[in-house]
């Protein structure tokens, strides 16, 4: 099966890998709560889609947060 990491903000495909079987631990997903998993993991037939904010959107987020913080203080 294939695992796709895609950015939920800009829909960019960040990375993809092929795995023998779906293993949460191998994919580093065992650290997530059940709610988080439901939110970011989507399984479709043999494909697994995982939401992962890409670097560009992450930077944008930090930037917005930074501006926000400056305004508050």
Provide CB contacts within 8 A for 7, sequence distance 6+: 14, 51, 52, 53, 54, 57
CB of 70: closest distance to Zn ion in angstroms?
24
Among 3, 48, 50, 54, binds Zn ion (CB under 5 A): 54
Asked whether position 50 contacts Zn ion by CB under 5 A, the answer is: no
Asked whether position 40 contacts Zn ion by CB under 5 A, the answer is: no
Asked whether position 9 contacts Zn ion by CB under 5 A, the answer is: yes
48 φ, ψ (degrees, to nearest 5): -120, 125
- Identify the bridge partners of residue 6 per DSSP, sorted by sequence position: 13, 51
CB of 30: closest distance to Zn ion in angstroms?
25
């Amino acid at each position: 099966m294939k695992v796709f990491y895609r950015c939920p903000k800009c829909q960019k495909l960040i990375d993809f890998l092929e795995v023998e079987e779906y293993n949460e631990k191998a994919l580093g997903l065992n650290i997530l709560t059940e709610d988080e998993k439901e939110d970011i993991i989507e399984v479709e037939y043999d494909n697994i889609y995982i939401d992962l904010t890409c670097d560009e959107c992450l930077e944008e987020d930090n930037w917005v947060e930074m501006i926000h913080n400056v305004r508050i203080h």
